[in-house]
């Protein structure tokens, strides 16, 4: 079997890249290790509830995301989050306090002390860090905005996005847009105002203003639509075990696990597998990059879904949900009020609550039995939300290596990836450890990757014909 391009991994990065290449007329094949596609994306309808085991939604930060969804036929299936989802809560002193979304609300909120609020006025006058100093998110935020802002705004935000630890994440790599504000404008506050104008020109949307969306039957619809469009260009139960370059044909040869006699030849390969898998696959080509990719940490995260057909006693679930700062010493990272966000997640009188446990903060908590985990989550929600009663459904999903952490030194790893790609024409390394972890980021990046492959193949096709 000979292909123009083999895409390794059937998560959103792989599916979107394969779709774009197939549409451009290339003969592609996507190889996915598991028996179902989607990677981190997985939704299920169960007993009147719709459960998203991985991402619940994503942000439409670029018109490219909306256009892609429209193009693959999901325009009428997309659902934007309800208006009340704009309310987001942070736990402070055991109480849920709304995250202020406007300057007057910021001045009025009890989430930050007066000292913390006054500290922000100093921000425009603080000098940028020296060029050669790579800072963690904690160092950067404490320097610019103060410790309380780190504890009660950034720490919970980082837990919500990366399940990460701001003491380890690189500000430059993990929150590149915030880092760029300091570099470009010398201040986050000045940059927020001036940057808004520039974003408008580029038709980009600020993360705090971008709309959150999913689909009527959950994020899985994205996967199902792409798999349908790809047809027989997707092969499941196909774990790539090794690859090598055939010096005489200039083609790469891929071997699948458990089928020694089956070999696929291809002009190019796009890796969208997790970093630790890609590391292993390229070990004969670049041992140094293998070591570097293996340094990317993927902490475990467990998702616990509780579904109630009727909620008898519970605070008003009038928002996206809540996040918990580390200093609050709780046993969950946060909780999404899924049935407030989107329709069809629970019966009308009921509720669907999605809780995340573990991450870099408390990986050990993910190791409990399902029964202990469910009990722990219920106990926390009883305390925080006043939620009483027994759930009608409990679903637990363990992501043993969930989300790549863009820690200090991440950019140096990506520089090596770029150098590898230059030295090995036809090999492209992609996936959520490069250029953003959100589903939306992966969709946007798939366009860039597909373009790069296409350019190279077009060139190669000509030289092969010669």
Q: Does 439 bind ligand FAD (CB under 6 A)?
A: yes
The reply to whether 274 sits near ligand FAD by the rule CB under 6 A is yes
When asked if residue 218 is in the footprint of ligand FAD (CB under 6 A), the reply is: no
333 binds ligand FAD (CB under 6 A): no
169 lines the binding site for ligand FAD (CB under 6 A): no
SS3 251: strand
Minimal distance in Å, beta carbon 415 to ligand FAD? 20
Would you count residue 301 as binding ligand FAD (CB under 6 A)?
yes
Q: Which is nearer to ligand FAD, 11 or 191 (CB)?
A: 11
**DSSP 8-state code for residue 157:** H
Task: Let me know: does 59 contact 438? Beta carbons within 8 Å.
Answer: yes
Among 3, 5, 7, 9, indicate the residue that binds ligand FAD (CB under 6 A): 9
Q: Does 160 sit near ligand FAD (CB under 6 A)?
A: no
The site for ligand FAD, by CB under 6 A, has a size of 37
C-beta of 347: minimal distance to ligand FAD in Å? 23
Report the C-alpha gap between 396 and 374 in whole angstroms.
8
Cα separation, 396 vs 307, in Å, equals 12
Planar angle of CA 236, 242, 248, nearest 5 degrees: 115
Q: How far is the CB of 434 from ligand FAD (least distance, A)?
A: 9
Backbone angles phi, psi at 302, to 5 degrees: -115, 135
Q: Which residues contact 79 (CB under 8 A, 6 or more apart)?
A: 213, 214, 215, 216, 342, 343
Binding span for ligand FAD by CB under 6 A among 109-117, 272-280, 342-350, 363-371 = 272-280
CA distance 177 to 115: 27
From 240, 254, 413, 450, residue interacting with ligand FAD (rule: CB under 6 A): 240
Stretch of 7-15, 126-134, 203-211, 368-376 lying at the interface with ligand FAD (CB under 6 A) = 7-15
373: helix, strand or coil: helix
Q: What is the dihedral of CA 56, 62, 68, 73, to 10 degrees?
A: 60
- Distance separating alpha carbons of residues 368 and 391, to the nearest angstrom: 19
55 binds ligand FAD (CB under 6 A): yes
Asked if 266 is part of the footprint of ligand FAD (rule: CB under 6 A), the reply reads no
Q: Is 32 in the site for ligand FAD (CB under 6 A)?
A: yes
Question: In terms of CB distance, is 26 or 270 closer to ligand FAD?
Answer: 270
Q: Is 156 in the site for ligand FAD (CB under 6 A)?
A: no
- Is 12 an interacting residue with respect to ligand FAD (CB under 6 A)? yes
Q: Report the distance separating Cα 186 and Cα 242, nearest Å.
A: 47
Q: How far apart are CA 225 and CA 180, in angstroms?
A: 35
Residue 5 touches ligand FAD, criterion: CB under 6 A: no
Which positions ≥6 away from 393 have C-beta within 8 Å?
46, 47, 49, 305, 306, 307
Q: How far apart are CA 273 and CA 157, in angstroms?
A: 26
Please report whether residue 239 would count as binding ligand FAD according to CB under 6 A: yes
The correct pick among 149, 213, 399, 428 for binding ligand FAD (CB under 6 A) is: 399
Which of residues 21, 29, 31, 51 is near ligand FAD by CB under 6 A? 31
Distances (CA, A) of 144 to 100, 116, 273, 296, 312: 19, 12, 36, 27, 45
Distances (CA, A) of 99 to 89, 112, 117, 135, 354: 6, 10, 14, 26, 19
- Print burial letters for 328-341: b (CB count within 10 Å at least 16), e (below 16): bebbbbbbbbbbbb
Task: Compare residues 188 and 306 and give the one whose CB is closer to ligand FAD.
Answer: 306
For the bound state, the minimum distance from the C-beta of residue 313 to ligand FAD, rounded and expressed in Å, comes to 28
- Of 106-114, 127-135, 371-379, 436-444, which segment contacts ligand FAD by CB under 6 A? 436-444
Report the residue number, 146 or 160, with the smaller CB distance to ligand FAD: 160
d(C-alpha 58, C-alpha 55), whole Å: 7
141 binds ligand FAD (CB under 6 A): no
Out of 171, 442, 450, 453, the residue judged to bind ligand FAD by CB under 6 A: 442
Residues that bind ligand FAD (CB under 6 A): 8-14, 31-34, 39-41, 54-58, 239-240, 272-274, 277, 301, 303, 399, 402-403, 431-432, 437-440, 442
């Amino acid at each position: 079997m000979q292909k123009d391009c083999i895409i390794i991994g059937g998560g959103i990065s792989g599916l979107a890249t394969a779709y774009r290449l197939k549409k451009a007329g290339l003969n592609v094949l996507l190889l996915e290790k598991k028996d179902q596609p989607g990677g981190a994306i997985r939704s299920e309808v169960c007993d009147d509830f719709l459960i998203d085991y991985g991402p619940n939604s994503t942000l439409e930060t670029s018109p490219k995301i909306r256009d892609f969804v429209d193009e693959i036929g999901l325009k009428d299936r997309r659902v934007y989050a309800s208006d009340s989802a704009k309310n987001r809560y942070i736990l402070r002193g055991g109480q849920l306090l709304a995250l202020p979304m406007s300057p007057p609300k910021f001045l009025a909120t009890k989430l930050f002390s007066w000292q913390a609020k006054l500290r922000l006025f100093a921000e425009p006058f603080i000098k940028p860090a020296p060029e050669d100093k790579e800072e963690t998110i904690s160092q950067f935020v404490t320097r610019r905005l103060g410790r309380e802002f780190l504890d009660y705004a950034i720490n919970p935000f980082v837990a919500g996005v990366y399940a990460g630890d701001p003491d380890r994440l690189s500000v430059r790599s993990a929150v590149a847009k915030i880092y760029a504000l300091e570099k470009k404008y010398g201040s986050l506050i000045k940059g927020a105002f001036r940057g808004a104008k520039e974003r408008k020109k580029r038709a980009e949307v600020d993360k705090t203003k971008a709309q959150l969306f999913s689909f009527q039957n959950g994020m899985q619809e994205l996967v199902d639509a792409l798999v349908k469009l790809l047809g027989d260009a997707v092969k499941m139960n196909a774990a790539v075990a090794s690859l090598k370059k055939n010096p005489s044909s200039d083609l790469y040869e891929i071997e699948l696990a458990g089928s020694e006699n089956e070999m696929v030849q291809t002009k190019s390969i796009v890796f969208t597998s997790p970093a630790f898998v890609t590391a292993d696959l390229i070990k004969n080509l670049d041992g140094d990059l293998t070591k570097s990719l293996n340094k990317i940490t993927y902490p475990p995260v467990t998702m616990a879904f509780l579904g109630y057909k009727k909620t008898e006693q519970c605070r008003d679930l009038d928002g996206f949900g809540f996040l918990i700062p580390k200093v609050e010493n709780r046993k969950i990272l946060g909780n999404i009020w899924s049935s407030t966000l989107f329709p069809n997640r629970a019966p009308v009188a009921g509720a669907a609550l999605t809780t995340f446990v573990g991450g870099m903060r408390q990986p050990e908590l993910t190791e409990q039995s399902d029964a202990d985990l469910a009990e722990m989550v219920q106990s926390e929600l009883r305390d925080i939300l006043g939620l009483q009663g027994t759930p009608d459904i409990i679903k637990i999903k363990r992501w043993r290596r969930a989300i790549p952490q863009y820690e200090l030194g991440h950019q140096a790893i990506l520089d090596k990836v770029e150098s590898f790609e230059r030295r090995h024409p036809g090999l492209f390394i992609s996936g959520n450890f490069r250029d953003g972890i959100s589903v939306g980021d992966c969709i946007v990046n798939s366009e860039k990757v597909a373009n790069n492959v296409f350019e190279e193949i077009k060139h190669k096709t000509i030289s092969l014909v010669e």
